Amino acid sequence: RSDHRKSSTIIHTLLLQCMNSQYTVHTRAPDTTLFRSNCTTSLHNANGKVELKSVSFKYPDADRTALSDISLSIQPGETIALVGQSGSGKSTLASLIPRFYQPSSGQISIDNTDIQDITLASLRNNLSLVSQQVVLFNDSVAANIAYGSKREASENKIIRAAEKAHAMEFIRNLP
């Protein structure tokens, strides 16, 4: 059994995507009108199917749209990469899914449920975002993996997250 209290300064935030936590990545203040209280659907343990149908987005006071007519289907367990030039809308697209912003048009759904109908708390409890900026804490590997978990993460859950991120070999080889 490896010692999960080892400190490290080289853990990629990819580990965080395996935890059931919420992370925020945005550079502009979110629209507070998105925090509707009339959402009634709770998303419990999402399977992970994400669909965008004809999604467009324009920042308030912007001259042009940031996203125009984007359609995308991501199946559970599928890994995708958003690749493009700086300013091409990658972060904006990622910020629409946790409802940091409201699409100007189109629909985003998770497991065939429109995210506008899902309570914000349950939506975000089922999402994790991995930012372009690596953030590590001067703490144990386990604490860095479990960061943000609203519940105390068990050792087994932390190990499963590290295994899903293909990081256990790296962790076991730490001094």
> pLDDT at residue 129 above 90?
no
Question: What residue ranges in 58-161 does DSSP mark as E strands?
Answer: 67-74, 105-110, 113-114
In degrees and rounded to multiples of 5, residue 10 shows phi and psi of: -130, 65
Q: What count of other Cβ atoms lies within 10 Å of the Cβ of residue 174?
A: 13
Residue 21's pLDDT is what?
35
Beta-carbon contacts of 97 under 8 Å, excluding residues fewer than 6 positions away, are 50, 108, 110, 115, 127
Pick the range with the lowest mean pLDDT from 16-25, 83-92, 98-107: 16-25
pTM for this one?
0.59
Q: What is the mean pLDDT of residues 13-29?
A: 38
More confident residue, 58 or 18: 58
> pLDDT at residue 37 above 80?
no
> pLDDT at residue 167 above 90?
no
Least Cα distance to 49 among 85, 83, 17, 78 occurs for 78
